[in-house]
Structure 1
Amino acid sequence: MDFEKYKLLKNKKIAEILDGDETFGDFESTTANSYFGFSNLKIGLPRLSGPEICDIAKMFGSTLEYDGKNSRWQYMFDLIDYGIQSERIDNILAYLFDDSNFVRNVNGLNKDEFKKFHSKSVESALERINAILHFGGNKLIIDSKRVRIVPINSSTPKISVKNVKTIDRDYIKSLSDRAIDNVENGYYDSALTQARTILEETFDYVLEKRNIEPSSKGDINKLYKQVKDEYKMHENKNADKRINRLLSGLENIVSAVSEMRNKNSDSHGVGERRLTIDKHHARLAVNSATTMADFILSVEKKFDGYTDY
């Protein structure tokens, strides 16, 4: 891949799109009496502060530090430079466009509205970036799990927002860290939504690695059963009973996180079935989901013959 092409993104106007400075109008929410009281949002990528841009760089292995001396678009330039140098720029861009980068800014939207907001924001940002790149004969596309710069005359695959990311331990840790931040700040509902996201995206990923279409969208228990069947994770009668007890405990994690999320998270309105959750319970849910996701990634690696899982 020609990573030098990504230097075309070192344009102040493009950087201001990527860091969320430029927006594309209001997104009207039809959710009545949303829990956090949002009525509309600005369409566009999430607004990233200088420290947040540096944190994203660190998530991908950079040592970029925030010193407060530069504008946000300049820190975005530094992030782009690091991505090119490390040959991870396509994955860094994928993260910026990914729905996990939007979670902290959209409390109060229901699941369907969040999808619409995310899709509209990504499409609008790409359209604006490509209007700038157009004069040089290039365009930015989301292709499978990467964001690529290609010549305008090349065919553009259908944008698949869901498939822009590669799930690995660094990615899971980034989601987990954001969820724990929400716990510490008292946003337990958002933390529960992120705990479920950690599990669901991991399950989807390991199935797609086997070229299997994840089924039963919205039912995470059925999705986990699909993973168990494909990776032969059923209890082994010949295995130590303590190992089997650990494996059986995994199902309890899935069921508990799913149930807590359904009854308590910010994906649903306030109602009579809403549960009261304490800080340590929210933290337990996030840490449990993170531990399980790490285990599932290891199962996938071992299944494919890796020894460093």
Structure 2
Amino acid sequence: MRKEIPTPVIAVLSENMPAIETHASLDNLFSYAEAPGEPPDGSKPVKVQAWLRRVNKESKHPLVVLGRIIEGYMELPDLEDDTFSWLGAPAVDVKKEFKTKLEAILSRCNLTYLSGGIISDGSSAPSRSLAELIKGRDIPSIDAEFNRALSNVNSEPREAVSAACNILESIFKTYIADEKLEMPQKQDLQNVWKIVRSDLGFDPGALEDHDLKKILSGVLSVVDGIGAFRTHASSAHGQGRKIYNLKPRHARLAIHSAHTIALFVLETWDERKSQK
């Protein structure tokens, strides 16, 4: 369901962004976020407020635009020590203060910022199954699922690998069901992937471009590798005699790879449907 940027969030942004940004940097930031239309006339507070209201009226996914706008503020590193001015008194870190205000107002509006410029409305992914997200092509919420996997990278890398693999599996199974293909008898990642890649035409031999052949061959291998990685190193299966020394960087590699493949499959699927 389409969610608009809440009025209190617009108020906080229009009150605080002018103290940090110039007219030119505001124009660049909103353009990067794919806010619709030309920069509104007026002062910086008027410009921010008017542009965000236009986002609510004209953008297909206002919260996606919001996430891109505030990403730079929300991803500021936390500073442990206060910064002091030349007079010896603590100097106010404007951006840090703004980040605190953003976190508070998002929480009040039942919104959550996820790493990577994603805003979760608290009802999208938790209240709907992953299969429903995939059928509705709710890319921001699917991205959020991958971010939830990433949130466990440092504390539970095995859980994170398992989650990333499960998302891919769900996408492939939804594709097979929606396209009325025959589900394989063994429904693990490798087997459902074979059905999907065959139906979508992911055959390196069919490509003329040598460089694209290399990339697609690599993609095929990566999916098999992620499935094997879950089997041997994740929490999805019991450990045998060989214990994998799984590090967060290994889990992060698997999740980012799975995310890239998921988007490629969904975009190819949508392109094929539009051509029918």
- TM-score, structure 1 length as denominator? 0.48
Distance in 2, matches of 1:199 and 1:93, equals 22
Q: CA deviation at 1:300?
A: 0.5
Q: CA deviation at 1:256?
A: 1.0
Partner of 2:199: 230
Partner of 2:104: 67
Using a 3 Å threshold, how does the CA distance of structure 1 residues 62 and 217 change in structure 2: closer, same or farther? farther
Partner of 1:140: none
Distance in 2, matches of 1:293 and 1:299, equals 10
Instruction: Indicate yes or no: 2:209 matched with 1:172.
Output: no
Amino acid at match of 1:175: E
Partner of 2:215: 246
Q: CA deviation at 1:75?
A: 5.3
Distance in 2, matches of 1:239 and 1:199, equals 28
Relative contact order, higher structure (CA 8 A, sep 6+): 1
The CA deviation string for residues 20-63 of structure 1, in whole angstroms up to 9 with x for no partner, is xxxxxxxxxxxxxxxxxxxxxxxxxxxxxxxxxxxxx9977778
Using a 3 Å threshold, how does the CA distance of structure 1 residues 270 and 229 change in structure 2: closer, same or farther? closer
Structure 2 portions without partners, runs of 5+ = 2-60, 68-101, 113-120
Instruction: Indicate yes or no: 2:162 matched with 1:193.
Output: yes
Greater shift, 216-225 or 241-250, is seen at 216-225
Partner of 2:125: 95
Partner of 2:267: 298
Distance in 2, matches of 1:165 and 1:240, equals 32
Matches within 5 A, 1:40-189: 66-67=103-104, 93=123, 95-98=125-128, 145=132, 166-183=136-153, 185-189=154-158
Please identify the structure whose Cα radius of gyration is greater: 2
The CA deviation string for residues 138-196 of structure 1, in whole angstroms up to 9 with x for no partner, is xxxxxx94xxxxxxxxxxxxxxxxx896344213311221121111x331011101110
Structure with the higher fraction of residues in helix conformation: 2
| Aligned residue pair count | 177
Partner of 1:131: none
Structure 1 portions without partners, runs of 5+ = 2-56, 80-88, 101-143, 146-162
Distance in 2, matches of 1:59 and 1:193, equals 28
Q: CA deviation at 1:213?
A: 5.3
